[in-house]
Structure 1
């Protein structure tokens, strides 16, 4: 819409000029079955998050802010990745139906912070396995995902996901 970036659910017809042409394209993503009309079932993304989008740290009171120093650059990157709202626009825009940007954002925001390190390897392996099982396609770097993301998540997080995945597979093959 005219206010890009932004989620389609926040797009109002009053933002378009009178007589403007609006194109609604057919939905091509098999991982998001159509319920009816313009309603889709995005529960596949929920299952991807359930596979590893969490940490097992004690959920008591917040620790002292300076107890675990985190470099500002890492904290900023983690916050950028955590901005993902899970709308699925990235997967819907991708010609391959890939959810790599969504998955990369979920893996990266936890991998960048020390609290996410205990489950780091199992998280990325599980989350990628579920993403594949849900029928999402493979990334071929067309960057359509980055262009449509309402949170402006950078496709560079996909490289972070690939590094995390390679690291976890290597560590698992070495018995760690």
Structure 2
């Protein structure tokens, strides 16, 4: 097919919308065993986001007197990390982005799409596609507070921060805690998430007073929550919608070794 030719199938899908078969995990509650259910949707625009497609399906289910599918969403702008779905076996689907920013043009007319919740023992299913990611919150809480002098606000440049450290801290702080790293990891490890949080504060002067206690406490909470260990497979970084680099795990391990060496 030359560059000027148009696929008639694609043109028809754009005009009338795509027809899709959806295999979706349904689970009444945490105690229910759950299973995949099949649904058909039609008239799906290629410009819809993946969540908008699910909205269309839920409208259809409501109209038929059926219970809609439970799934999480919030900002729908790729910022909050709430829209966590396993799509055709990949966290957030075939593109390196969040589910809410995944568009239906990434799929083909007539395609079958399998949609599941995150699969990790530390993320128990609440209902359908909704999982409890409170373990991430508890890891953050275990890190405690950062010591800071009270009183008048310091002048912005009074604490010099080298540019390379500032940029690295900024880049790893983009982690939105969606859990894609855990879902992608065969071990169910949250080491990429944990490494991002440790590195973010470890690169800045403000993060130094509690640095060693922080890493010990956060790693301990990570293990207590039931996340697996890291074996450097790299699936976590490949699935991360914010492209957190794998080397934050090296920084995590380095900080942990240093803390234990000094008796923290």
User: 1:100 corresponds to which residue?
Assistant: 191
- Choose 1 or 2 for highest CA Rg: 2
Within 1, Cα distance between the matches of 2:174 and 2:144? 14
Aligned to 1:127: 218
Aligned 8 A contact 1:53 1:106 in 2: no
**Aligned-residue offset at 1:9:** 3.7
State the match for 1:109 in structure 2.
200
Deviations, residues 146-174 of structure 1 (Å, cap 9, x unaligned) = 0110110001000000000000001117x
Q: Distance in 1 between matches of 2:186 and 2:172?
A: 22
| 1:42-121 correspondence to structure 2 within 5 Å | 42-52=133-143, 54-58=145-149, 62-121=153-212
- Structure holding more strand per residue: 2
TM-score computed with the length of structure 1 as normaliser? 0.89
Match of 1:22 in 2: 113
Structure 1 residues 100 and 34: alpha-carbon distance in aligned structure 2, compared to 1, 3 A threshold: same
- Contiguous gaps of at least 5 residues in structure 1: none
In 2, distance between residues paired with 1:61 and 1:89? Answer: 40
Deviation at 1:60?
6.3
Residues 59 and 166 of structure 1: CA distance in aligned 2, closer, same or farther (over 3 Å): same
Moved more, 45-54 or 58-67: 58-67
Moved over 6 A (4+): none
Aligned length: 172
- The answer for the alignment partner of 1:167 in structure 2 is 258
- Residues 1:17 and 1:58: Cα distance change in structure 2 (over 3 Å): farther
In 2, Cα distance between equivalents of 1:75 and 1:31: 32
Q: CA RMSD in A?
A: 2.0
- The structure-2 alpha-carbon separation of the partners of 1:20 and 1:54, relative to structure 1 and needing over 3 Å to count, comes to farther
Contact 2:117 2:128 in 1 (8 A): no
Q: 1:56 to 1:10 in 2, by over 3 A?
A: farther
Aligned to 1:143: 234
- Unaligned 5+ segments in structure 2 are 1-92
| Superposition deviation, residue 57 in structure 1 | 2.1
**Separation in 2 of the partners of 1:34 and 1:120?**
33
Cα 1:137–1:150 shift into 2, 3 Å = same
